[in-house]
Amino acid sequence: MTRLTTDDIQDIRFELNAYDRYLVSATGRSLLGIGAAAAGFGDVPRFRDAAASIRMAVVPIRSGLGVISGFAETVCGILVHMGFDAFVTGYSDVSGFAEAVDVGAQVILAADDDRFVALCPRQGKTVDNSRATATGFVAGLDLMAGGLDGKRVLVLGCGPVGRWVVEALLMRKAIVTVVDRVAKKAEGLAGWTRAVFQTTIHVGFELGQALSTHLLIVDTTNAAGVIHARHVTTDTRVAAPGMPCGVTSNAREKLAGRILHDPLQIGVAAMACQAVHIIREQPVSLSPAVHDGKSA
């Protein structure tokens, strides 16, 4: 996914109540409700019970291109908005991880230039932002569309997020078509789904034609201006994770309340809920820590 800028994220944590109102109007659920759906929790009250008393730490990471001003605070703000006991560590990097563990954080969120993860150290498990974002936006599309079973869904982009979107759609028994500028990537993804899910997905070769023949679209490309107003009808619904948004402003106007797009929120919500699921399913890791191939 594209590296975020401070501009992309600086207002997010102050506008979460308004965003929840939009999500409820578009999907019937709030950020918490969509995150819980993405993590397989049937209902929010059951999720709230599971999530109580789980402390989460967000650790700023200075490696590579360094800290994005406001990133850790925004991730933390989303978690607090959802009702989690979350905080940003005073230290960054290794000192930040040590601080998180010292104060009993069960989930530690951190991002370098390559990965954004939620770590569950006691369970020996990690939640990856790409996969969580995919499951969160597919859960949202499912809610917008009133179910995806047997419905045709077009996936634009066959990178990591696109792959996990296809997985989440197949688990919902959708009929999937994928399109990528690089035809080989689309064909490779079709081969993967045949091998892993014994399921055939369709590969589209002409973007305009694919867009004009689908009412349910997930845009995982990192390109702007992919979906235009001419591709959109009053029955079209779009899920567009990450930046930049692939839907033009005219198309967004036409879509009105039938689009899900954000740079971070739904992905973080899904990460947090999946981490709760891991902790509640497996309170601690039973296998001994293994170092250099020998039991510790």
118 binds ligand 2YC (CB under 6 A): no
The region, left, alpha or beta by phi > 0 then psi within -120 to 50, assigned to residue 156 is beta
Of 13-21, 39-47, 106-114, 223-231, the window that binds ligand 2YC (rule: CB under 6 A) is: 106-114
d(CA 136, CA 292): 36
127 binds ligand 2YC (CB under 6 A): no
Name the residue nearer to ligand 2YC (CB basis): 33 or 70.
Answer: 70
Restricting to residues 67-86, name those near ligand 2YC by CB under 6 A. Answer: 67-68, 71-72
Q: Single out the residue of 16, 23, 61, 210 in contact with ligand 2YC (rule: CB under 6 A).
A: 61
Q: What is the DSSP string of 168-227?
A: HHHHTT-EEEEE-SSHHHHHHHHHHHHHHHS---EE---HHHHHHT-SEEEE--S-SS-B
Q: How far is the CB of 267 from ligand 2YC (least distance, A)?
A: 7
Q: Single out the residue of 41, 84, 87, 116 in contact with ligand 2YC (rule: CB under 6 A).
A: 116
Name the residue nearer to ligand 2YC (CB basis): 79 or 216.
Answer: 79
Name the residue nearer to ligand 2YC (CB basis): 1 or 227.
Answer: 1
Q: Single out the residue of 27, 41, 50, 60 in contact with ligand 2YC (rule: CB under 6 A).
A: 60
Residues in contact with ligand 2YC, shown as a per-residue x/- string from 264 to 283 under the rule CB under 6 A = x-------------------
Size of the site for ligand 2YC (CB under 6 A): 15
112 binds ligand 2YC (CB under 6 A): yes
Restricting to residues 245-264, name those near ligand 2YC by CB under 6 A. Answer: 264
The label of the residue with tokens 């009053």 reads: 234
Interface residues toward ligand 2YC, by CB under 6 A: 1, 3-4, 60-61, 67-68, 71-72, 111-113, 116, 129, 264
